[in-house]
Amino acid sequence: MDVLANSRVMDMAIDIKGDYNDSMDIIERYPREKRYTLAILQDIQRKYDFIPREVMVLMSDYLGMPISDIYSMATFYKALSLKPKGKYIIKLCNGTACHIRGSESIREELETILNISPGETTEDGLFSIEVVNCIGACALAPVMLINEKYYGGLTEEKVKAIIDGIKEGHR
Amino acid sequence: MNVKIDGKYYSGNKGETLLELARRNEIEIPSLCYKEGFEGLGRCRLCLVEVIEGNSTKTVSSCVYPIRDGIEVLTNTKNIVNMRKDIIFLLLLRTPNNGYIRKLAEEYGVKAPSRYLDMEREEDCILCGLCVKACEKLGTNAISLVNRGITKKVSTPYDDASKDCIGCGACAEVCPTNAISLVEQDGKRIIWNKTFDLISCTRCGKCYSTEEVLHHIDEQLGVKTQEYLCESCSRRLVGEKFKEAFQNLI
Amino acid sequence: MNDIYDEKMEILVCCGTGCLANNSYRVYERFKEILGEESEVAVKPLIKATGCNGLCEKGPVVKILPKEIAYFKVLPDDVDDIVEKTVLKGEIVDRLLYFDVNERKRIVSHKDASFYKHQHKIALRNIGEIDPLCIGDYLKRDGYRALAKALFEMTPDQVIGEVERSGLRGRGGAGFPTGRKWNICSTYESFPKYVVCNGDEGDPGAFMDRSIMEGDPHTVIEGMIICGYAIGSNRGFLYIRDEYDLALKNMQAAIDNAREFGYLGSNILESSFEFDLEIVRGGGAFVCGESSALMASIEGNIGEPRAKYIRSVEKGLWDKPTVLNNVETWANIPPIIINGAEWFNKIGIEGNSGTKVFSLVGKVKNTGLVEVPMGTKLNELVYQIGGGIIRDRPFKAVQTGGPSGGCIPKEYMDISLDFESLDKIGSMMGSGGVIVMDDTTCMVEVARYYMEFLSEESCGKCTTCREGINTMLKILENITIGEGQLDDIDLLLQLGETIKEASLCALGKTAPNPVLTTIRYFRHEYLEHIKEKRCSAGVCKDLTTYYIDSELCTGCGLCSRRCPVAAIDGKLKEPHIIDRDICTKCGNCFTVCPRNAVKVGGANYEC
């Protein structure tokens, strides 16, 4: 958000097409009805890993909705984010089953290894950490999801190996 | 519809809320997020009362409770007063330096032990949502409720100067705790991080509104105003015209 | 029923989320490779990817029919062995059988295992037995027969009557009688009406709805169509959590399939009845499990609840009469219509008929999904089905009802699992999460955890929920770091009561439960934190020191080997010592010590 939190973006937003060219294709898949706002936002999130400000303006025009309402939605729902996310999004489960089986120490380990807190992205743009509520895989507790892949029965050592593995594969 | 409030009977209209009925009859029920002409929001919870219907007693927030024939209402039971005190206590923790909330706390004899109070906190908004409703009613929709839970707040998108804000100040006007900053100096008005040029009255020269507001009104009414007049001058003008017309008659 | 599958061998590979995470799809593919059309092997069994079998702890699960052989923790490398021995020769691969911790032996058919044999499956009846993507599998197990019966043999009133007489109550948590809800809605002459499925399962530690949507999507669809017929609605919505990828995929496929087969759309089964369904993806907000917030979300608003002095059966979605039920409730409808209200009523106990699905998680040996008759005793659930506590540690509490439920102590282990009994002791049924806690769980910290969860998930609309939960959270945080004072407990109780009474929606009205019940049943732990600055579970790190009792230590060295920071020193067969300056209080030594020689001391403990 910080990179964009500047009013000049707002002014140029209307005619921006370049970077978010495809977003109109996503938006136009839905009828011009208010009830599709969340669905469009989710598709945009999936496409860009965040909700770009420019796209909110396009949506506001298309749906005939105030931009403040779209912003309100984008900040209310946890599945949506205003900040760009890393290439690998680590969703660490903090459901009750995971919590009492030690997800806290897994979080600490992730923070130490990646040197970021939950909600942040590493400088190289590779990893983001999110602490999420129960992903419904309690038998694997403590568990985390990295881009749709589950890693269960975590220990501090396992976490380190997993992250190292991803870094290695990326080199 | 007959409703018994604190022992006396009152006649209510269909569709009326309990708080509306009470206000109409000058029965005191405290509230922060209710404003006449606005629908009840049910946010601040201060207007809680006890409703007895048949065998069941329940606590309801009177600003959103539609009255029913034959119900009995108690507005001041010990239980209700204690809950109100707790609500004021919670608001005091949120806005420890707000004059209005502090006064309310004093009135109700609510004291927050210092170990729970963070006097450094500079918060005045109690999230009643009236400002958002006012902005919505004007058709400007420049502000909205953003985030959720304890991080909820009222703001323009990205806290930036919003293209939709016309600087009318209706939000500040309806705010019960004076939480919205509206600064006027040197012919300018600053609100929600946006600076507006103030228009001065063509008759008396007093700065009274923003250009955006006047445009907005013209747009809504579908007219083009020729002369910008402040409220008192326009009232005087109407009076003069009337006098003129009257004199022509005789 | 005659069909080509009789006597033919079937291999069912569990592909529920738990098993998938353990590579079960590779297992499925490997079977296909060896036994598929192209292969040389003479036997050609049917190979199916099914939904969740419940015992996720021991996944991936593979079942071989008709002999009912069940294998657990199957790796892709085990497949060759299974084919060679079981498929071709009918022999059993011993090492992959279920080891029953209660009976201390290996068991061939999963149905004989303690985990399964006490269960009674209605809502979960098809899961693990069918391929959720294959409508034929569902049809073979009486699928859409209830719909045909309702449409052609019953009037809408008779359908409602049947559901009312069955005594079915909402499985989402509140326990409102389902039939009565339908009945009230049917009396309003305002159209269109809507049917909504709440699939926004958000309780941490609960995944029953996910399993049903993944493993048996058609039963939910069928239940909703029947309701549409009963109340006079032609339109339904399924609100499903966006994180539930597989559930969304399977549900959408099932809707498409049902439409193709004429179960959805206009003129259903040539009956002239019309009904269709649409999926709405949730946005990741726990509060949207609350019905009015869920409807606000479907309409395209933020998920803020509204006061429900006018019920949603009268004015719900877009202010039209709406019936909203949870996934598990819908799954119960088809069997009730087929087998009748009396059949359903005989299961469970009076006032709480039928079964309930629980997700049994936490410090329990057999983590998984369990469906038992209402009224089953809590200890049966934890010990018989769950197999007891991991490492046989002492049991401390069970938390039921999700974040708004309560913590139940040992004294109430024989409590009957039904709506009223759980309410009575300050907890609740909720959607059926059962979280087992042992002596290494700190109850103050658990209360803090739930307040943290709820403070993030509160929509923030009303003062008591938003500010109240946050204030309780701060007080609890102070207690867990040793800065609590005695009157904090009274303030927690006082605020808790006000938040329960004064909040706008069910989230706020139940939020204080974890705090109130832990104070009620575990006050001594609060006092220990406040007065002695000690957390005997060793969870609150600021109030914990570990030390080794030299009388008990045999010097086996296990603790020192498991210490991640090399803080434990000592010669073999001599008492060891923990260096407090190095110790990070991870608790490994405490849990591994075979002699219980590692002890937990308070913040200021002096050796």
| CATH number for position A93 | 3.40.30.10
Boundary-marking domain end, from A76, A98, A128: A76
Amino acid at B235: R
- CB pair distance less than 8 Å for B157 and A5: no
CB C279 within 8 A of CB C248: yes
The 3-state DSSP class for residue C475 equals helix
Q: Are residues A122 and A48 in the same domain?
A: no
Q: What is the 3-state secondary structure (H, E, C) of C404-421?
A: HCEEEEHHHCCCECCHHH
- Give the burial string for C264-301 (b: 16+ CB within 10 Å, else e): beeebeeeebebbbebbbbbbbbbbbbbbbbbbbbbbb
Please tell me whether the overall predicted TM-score, pTM, comes out greater than 0.80 for this model.
yes
- Contact present, B175 and B130 (Cβ < 8 Å): yes
- A68 & A112 share domain: no
**In a structure prediction context, what are the per-residue pLDDT tens digits for chain B, which is 250 residues long?**
899 999 999 999 998 999 999 999 999 999 999 999 999 999 999 999 999 998 999 999 999 999 999 999 999 999 999 999 999 999 999 999 999 999 999 999 999 988 899 999 999 999 999 999 999 999 999 999 999 999 999 999 999 999 999 999 999 999 999 999 999 998 899 999 999 999 888 888 888 889 899 888 888 888 887 778 888 888 888 888 888 877 777 6
Cross-chain residue pair B158–A71, CB shorter than 8 Å: yes
pLDDT of C4: 42
Q: Say whether residue A78 is in contact with chain C using an 8 A CB cutoff.
A: yes
A7 with B160: Cβ contact below 8 A:
yes
Q: Do B86 and C302 touch (CB under 8 A)?
A: no
Q: Are residues A41 and A98 in the same domain?
A: no
Partner residue opposite C18 with nearest CB, options A36, A137, A151: A137
Q: How does DSSP assign B60-115, residue by residue?
A: EETTT-B--TT-EEES--HHHHHHHHHHHHHHHHH-TT-HHHHHHHHHTT----TT
Do A72 and A93 fall into the same domain?
no
Summarised one tens digit per residue, pLDDT across range C426-441 is: 888 988 999 999 999 9
Instruction: Report which secondary-structure segment, H or E, holds C126.
Output: none
Query: Residues A94, A156: one domain?
Result: yes
Sign of the Cα pseudo-torsion (C140, C141, C144, C150, in order): positive
How far is the C-alpha of A60 from the C-alpha of C92, rounded, in Å? 63
Q: Is C435 on the interface with A (CB under 8 A)?
A: yes
Q: CB of C207 within 8 Å of any CB in chain A?
A: yes
Give the pLDDT score at A109.
92
Distance from CA of A66 to the nearest CA of B (A): 6
- Minimal Cβ distance to C285: which of A39, A76, A94: A76
- Taking an 8 Å cut-off on Cβ atoms, the answer to whether A68 and B163 are in contact is no
- Residues sharing a CB contact under 8 Å with residue A44, sequence separation 6 or more, in sequence order: A23, A26, A27, A51, A52, A55, A59
pLDDT at A16 over 60: no
β-bridge pairing C348-349 and C235-240: unpaired
From residue B16, alpha-carbon distances to B40, C125, C394, C426 in Å are 11, 50, 58, 36
Q: Kindly report the nearest CA distance between residue B139 and chain A, in angstroms.
A: 10
The two three-digit tokens of residue B184, written as one number: 């006027």
Domain end call among A36, A55, A76: A76
Q: Do C285 and A77 touch (CB under 8 A)?
A: yes
Distance CA A156, CA C263 (A): 50
> Are A32 and A92 part of one and the same domain?
no
Q: Residue A31 sits in which domain range?
A: 7-76
Domains of chain C with CATH codes: 10-116 (3.40.30.10), 135-345 (3.40.50.11540), 349-438 (3.10.20.600), 443-531 (1.20.1440.230), 544-601 (3.30.70.20)
pLDDT at A13: 40
**Whole-angstrom Cα distance, residue C297 to residue C290?**
10
For A3, the closest chain B residue by CA position comes to: B158
The pLDDT score that the predictor gives to residue C606 is: 63
Q: What is the pLDDT of residue C2?
A: 39
Instruction: Choose the final residue of a domain: A52, A76, A100.
Output: A76
Kindly tell me if the per-residue pLDDT of A12 is higher than 60. Answer: no
Q: Does B163 touch chain A (CB under 8 A)?
A: yes
Distance from CA of B153 to the nearest CA of A (A): 10
**d(Cα A127, Cα A90) in Å, to the nearest integer?**
7
Work out the angle at residue C193's Cα, subtended by the Cα atoms of residues C192 and C197, and round it to the nearest 5 degrees: 135
Instruction: Please name the residue of chain B whose CA is at the shortest distance from the CA of residue C284.
Output: B148
CA C147 – CA C264 distance, rounded (Å): 11
Looking at the predicted structure, is the pLDDT value of residue A135 above 50?
yes
- Bridge-based pairing of strands C194-199 and C235-240 is parallel
Contacts of B61 in chain C (CB under 8 A): 307, 504
- Sort residue C36 into left (φ over 0), alpha (ψ -120 to 50) or beta: beta
User: Distance of CA C415 to CAs B205, C299, C375, C399, C404, Å?
Assistant: 79, 41, 8, 13, 19
- From the list B83, B93, B152, the residue facing C501 with the nearest CB is B83
Give the amino acid at C271. Answer: S
- Give yes or no: residues A123 and A152 share one domain: yes
pLDDT for residue B32: 96
Q: Is C214 at the interface with chain A, CB within 8 A?
A: no
- CATH fold of B2-76 reads Ubiquitin-like (UB roll) (3.10.20)
Q: How far apart are CA B167 and CA B181, in angstroms?
A: 12
Q: pLDDT at position B230, please?
A: 83
At B212-235, the pLDDT tens digits run: 998 888 888 888 877 788 888 888
User: Quick one: pLDDT at residue C7?
Assistant: 61
Cα separation of B156 and A5, whole Å?
Answer: 12
Strands B194-200 and C577-578, sheet pairing: unpaired
Strand blocks (E) in C381-478: 395-400, 406-409, 433-438
Closest chain C CA to residue A32: C300
A1 belongs to a structural domain: no
Structural domain boundaries in chain B? 2-76, 130-244
Tell whether A103 and A68 lie within a shared domain: no
User: C458, B127: Cβ pair inside 8 Å?
Assistant: no
Below-50 pLDDT ranges, chain C = 1-6
Shared domain check, A124 and A60: no
Pair of tokens at residue C508: 């706020």
Please report the DSSP string for chain B in residue order. Answer: -EEEETTEEEE--TT-BHHHHHHHTT-----SS--TTS-----S-TTEEEEEETTEEEEEETTT-B--TT-EEES--HHHHHHHHHHHHHHHHH-TT-HHHHHHHHHTT----TTT--TT---------HHHHHHHHTT----EEES-GGG-EEESGGGSPPTT-----HHHHH-TT--S-EEEETTEEEETTEEEEEEEPTTT--EEEEHHHHHHHHHHHT---SS---HHHHHHHHHHHHHHHHHHH-
pLDDT (average), residues A52-74:
95
SS3 state at C333: helix
Query: How many domains, in total, are found in chain A?
Result: 2
Looking at the structure, tell me whether residues A101 and A165 fall in a common domain: yes
Query: Per residue in B129-157, pLDDT tens?
Result: 999 999 999 999 999 999 999 999 999 99
Return the SS3 of C99.
strand
